[in-house]
Amino acid sequence: MQTIAFVLFDDAEELDFVGPWEVLAYLARTEPETCRVLTVSQRGGIVRCAKGLRVVADHSFADCPPFEIMLVPGGIGTRTEVDNPVLIAFLRERGQRCTLVTSVCTGAFLIERAGLLTPRDGQPRRATTHWASLERLRALGTVETINERFVDEGNVITAAGVSAGIDMALYLVGRVWGEETARRVQQGIEYFPAPPFAPVTR
């Protein structure tokens, strides 16, 4: 049984965590021996997200139980939270105990600040983030920035922007509980993207 914590903060991007939550909570509900999911924020209680959605975190940092997997969303709130010493200390302390740390979108900046993307053997670790923030992440000089939907670096997985978190979460399920389990979850949430429009050329 793995416990998965979603670390929330004001102005977090909704789909960054709600997409992966759907994947992992569906797994927890349909195959309860696999995992349980919870949300945590600095003070617990109501969190106001980037687009106005309000959610209620299950735990505060002070009363959060142990967990093995951590997910850190992005959003405009990361611009200020990256300088929040309480949040960064929580991510650092808990992240170092985790078997797996994940981020979505600009959540990569939070785990980078927490020291969870430090180079290994003198080599920068690979990471990704929202396409519009790739250069800003690269400019930190601490990671090798990759423009992919998600990047697996062993005990850290980073995902690109917003909807990429769903892909990352399904990959996580496959990695931890096996491909067939991930396929059952993907079927259950009917996630077979076929967007009506081609991407805008950047």
Kindly state the greatest CA–CA separation across the chain. Answer: 46
Asked if residues 9 and 42 have their Cβ atoms less than 8 Å apart, the reply is yes
Close Cβ partners of 156 (under 8 Å, ≥ 6 residues apart): 100, 101, 102, 103, 111, 116, 117, 125, 127
105 is catalytic: yes
In the block, residue with structure tokens 């496959």: 174
Of 35, 49, 64, 105, the catalytic one is 105
Alpha helices in the chain (DSSP H): 14-30, 78-81, 85-97, 107-113, 134-139, 164-177, 179-188
Q: Give the phi and the psi of residue 56 in degrees, each rounded to 5.
A: -110, 115
C-alpha 113, offset from chain centre: 15
User: Could you count the other beta carbons within 10 Å of the beta carbon of residue 52?
Assistant: 7
Task: Give per-residue burial for 65-101: e unless 16+ CB within 10 Å, then b.
Answer: eebebbbbbbbebbeebeebeebbebbeebbeebebb
Residues with a known catalytic role: 105
